[in-house]
Structure 1
Amino acid sequence: MKVKACIYTDVGQTRNINQDSALVKVANTRNHGRISFVAVCDGMGGLSRGEVASCKAIRTLESWFHEELSLMQNMSESELWDAIESSFVRMISRINGDLRRYGKHRGLQLGTTLTALLQIGNKYMSVNVGDSRLYAIKSREVVRLTRDQSLVQDKIDKGMITESQAINDQEKSVLLQCIGTSHAPVPEVKRGTIEGNTTIIACSDGFWRTLSAEDMRTKLCPQMCITDADMLDQCKKLANLAISRNEEDNISVAAMCLEM
């Protein structure tokens, strides 16, 4: 398998600090071939030190990939995925506790979203807390892999508003869960299969809010991702498109094109 990857982030038009953090890791393993990991964390703009929260979460994810995940490499496939899921949930609880203690000792309240996907062979596991998103982009379709843990998503699910109305909803930034402010956030964990060449992206709400699935497909389908530099250029174009549509938040996307 070939993996091309990039990260693009922009502070945006109105923010002084970029509170987003992102990660892409690719490794060759003896028992499972090439594996890859992508994540984005969006620090809470309405709270203090959101950039600290998102950076702490990403650094913990990076350490997990290099250390804890490597200890699971000798497991059988069935054992491996169950162990990874348990490990994911424990890690999120650990990050949440660390951020709560950090804030308590300094008189701060800080939090972050977290969305991540681990690929091993043609299978993946995703984990999500908050309203950052994961998408799988193919030549002819875009599949959203996560469900926002937000008030507007709850309204959409209940038929109170439409997807288009959600963009301008006054409560669009209200999360039902995030890491750092909840006693025990419950992550959305999913498993799935990747079939054929696919671009996986993790992105903050500043990226996805004003962009359509077709915008993403046109720029980031596997055929457009010839090199890492091509991918980075396409991500930059999408970020600039979001800015041109008056997106005011930080904008971040981590992308990896998997050639199966």
Structure 2
Amino acid sequence: MKKLKLCVSGITDVGAVKNVNQDSFVYKVVDAGECFAGIFAVADGVGGLEKGEVASSMAISNINRWWENEFKNHYHDQEYLIRTLIDCFKNTNIEIINMAKRNEIKAATTLTVLFIYKNNYFIVHIGDSRIYKINGLFNRKIDQITQDHSCIIDKQINGRTIKKSVLTECLGNKEQCNHFCAMSPIKKNDIFIVCSDGIYKTMTDNKILDLINQNKNDIQNVCQSLVDTVKLNGETDNISVIAIKVND
């Protein structure tokens, strides 16, 4: 099997309304000899709470530390890497809770991580940021491969009932957090999108697929077109997206 390479680009944007970007992200790719490996993560600080940007930054800092310490020192041990990546979620959750207690505030964040290694992808995820997988060269299809930890409730605003999405799981909310995990092989021409909810709240999955098809040979343009489109759609939230294409 040919060595599969990873082409990646990412953008984070404060958006049209907010003064603070509560999203954080990181992506790294390295040639690990027999394969390419990469870590791709998005954290979205929970709006309405103090210091959401601090919580998301803590989450991404810990993922970056995991990459520098655990991956680079134990890259040969796949089971160890997955176990310590899950532990990173648990430890970050406690760190955010303790930080919030010290400062007498509330702070929380989503965290969605895609780890590609030895021609497989591994997902560890909590919250409502998402990972999409697009496969096929011509008759492409798009699949959401994370589960949203959220529910829809009715909220009364100025006498009107509106539908509001509410997180059911995130980091920093409670001591026992329930994360989502998944793994599967990667193939040539696979494209992955890791994004905060600012990408999909005003855009359907099929529209995301259309924009990818229009820019499939330029991963940077994929990211920029997604951000530009949701801003034109009137999205008021912070917006973050990472796009990864698998080549040989």
Q: Report the TM-score when normalising by structure 1.
A: 0.85
Shift of 1:237: 1.8
Q: How far 1:214 moved relative to its partner?
A: 2.3
State the Cα distance separating 1:13 from its structure 2 match: 1.9
Aligned to 1:151, what secondary structure does the other structure show? Answer: strand
Q: Report the CA distance between 1:169 and its aligned residue.
A: 5.5
Alignment of 1:86-101 (within 5 A): 86-101=83-98
Which of 164, 167, 176 is the matching residue for 1:171? 164
Equivalent residues of 1:12, 1:251 under 8 A apart: yes
In structure 2, the partner of 1:202 is: 194
Q: What does 1:145-224 correspond to in 2, within 5 Å?
A: 145-152=145-152, 170-172=163-165, 174-221=166-213, 224=215
Q: What amino acid does structure 2 have at the position aligned with 1:53?
A: A
Q: CA deviation at 1:71?
A: 2.6
Query: For residue 143 of structure 1, what is the amino acid of its counterpart?
Result: D
Change (3 A) 1:210 1:238: same
The answer to whether 1:118 aligns with 2:115 is yes
Question: How far, CA to CA, are the matches of 1:69 and 1:87 in structure 2?
Answer: 9
Residues 161-219 of structure 1: CA deviation (Å, up to 9, x unaligned):
xxxxxxx96321x1111001121211101111112311111100011112222222222
Aligned residue in 1 for 2:233: 245
1:130 to 127, 130, 134: 127
Equivalent position amino acid for 1:244 in 2? L
Given that 1:9 and 1:252 are in contact with CA atoms closer than 8 Å, whether structure 2 keeps it comes out as yes
Mapping for residues 15-30 of structure 1, pairs under 5 Å:
15-30=18-33
Whether the 8 Å CA contact 1:38–1:201 is kept in 2: the answer is no
More strand by share: 2
Check the 8 A contact 1:134/1:144 in 2, yes or no: yes
Amino acid in the other structure paired with 2:220 = L
Unaligned stretches of 5+ residues in structure 1 = 156-167
**SS state at 1:211 partner:** coil
CA deviation after TM superposition for structure 1 residue 145, in Å: 0.7
Bigger mean CA offset, 230-239 vs 103-112: 230-239
Q: Cα deviations across residues 64-100 of structure 1 (Å, max 9, x unaligned)?
A: 012112232233xxxx1x3233212211111011111
Q: Indicate the percent of aligned positions where both proteins have the same amino acid.
A: 30
Q: Which residue of structure 2 lines up, in the alignment, with residue 9 of structure 1?
A: 12
Q: Tell me which moved more, 82-91 or 110-119.
A: 82-91
Q: Is the 8 A contact 2:70 2:81 kept in 1?
A: no
Structure 1 runs (4+) deviating above 4 angstroms are none
Three-state SS of the structure 2 residue aligned to 1:192 is strand
In the aligned structure 2, how far is the partner of 1:88 from the partner of 1:180?
17
Could you tell me which runs of 5 or more consecutive residues in structure 2 were left unpaired when the two chains were aligned.
154-160
SS in 1 for 2:163: coil
Aligned-partner Cα distance in 2 for 1:234–1:125: 23
1:113-161 deviation line (CA, Å, top 9, x unaligned): 0001111132111011000000112341111110100113xx8xxxxxx
2:215 maps to a residue whose letter is M
Distance of 2:8 and 2:205 partners within structure 1: 20
Q: Does 1:34 align with 2:36?
A: yes
Asked if structure 1 preserves the Cα contact closer than 8 Å seen for 2:36 and 2:117, the reply is yes
